[in-house]
Amino acid sequence: MEFLVASAIGVMTAGGLYLVLRLRTFPVIMGISLLTYAVNVFLFASGRLTLGAPPILTDAERYTDPLPQALVLTAIVISFGMTAVIVMIALGAYLGADDDHVDDPAKGDTAAEDKA
């Protein structure tokens, strides 16, 4: 079970980093979302992967920590709000420039135009 969760976290992190390094805004937003999902799964798994265990201390061997669950719930709400803000900023940039490149040196390099 631990190997499966660790593999899922690794795949989500690798996919998120790949998407963040793209030159378009939508893949960058999806990459940031994938990275937040990977962090949420990591935080959730840090509270132990025990099935059917109560979140109270009755038996020291079968104890599930409730703190990572609360942290993940808070992180989900914060990441949803930040994703909405990033989508609105990217939409405004796209509507203002008619292009969704994150960094386009051909259009944005005015210093090269001044020298020529």
Q: Is 54 inside any structural domain?
A: yes
pLDDT tens for residues 4-45? Answer: 989 999 999 999 999 999 888 889 899 999 999 999 999 888
DSSP the chain: -HHHHHHHHHHHHHHHHHHHTSSBHHHHHHHHHHHHHHHHHHHHHTT---TT--SS-S-TTS---SHHHHHHHHHHHHHHHHHHHHHHHHHHHHHHHS--BS--HHHH-HHHHHH-
Q: Is 19 inside any structural domain?
A: yes
Residue ranges making up the domain that contains 46: 2-107
Q: Is 51 inside any structural domain?
A: yes
Q: Which residue has the higher pLDDT, 65 or 82?
A: 82
Look at residue 64 and tell me whether its pLDDT is greater than 70. Answer: no
Q: Is 112 inside any structural domain?
A: no
Q: Is 114 inside any structural domain?
A: no
Q: Is 8 inside any structural domain?
A: yes
CATH number at residue 43: 1.10.287
Q: Is 7 inside any structural domain?
A: yes
How many separate domains does the chain show? 1
Instruction: Please tell me whether the overall predicted TM-score, pTM, comes out greater than 0.75 for this model.
Output: no
Q: Is 86 inside any structural domain?
A: yes
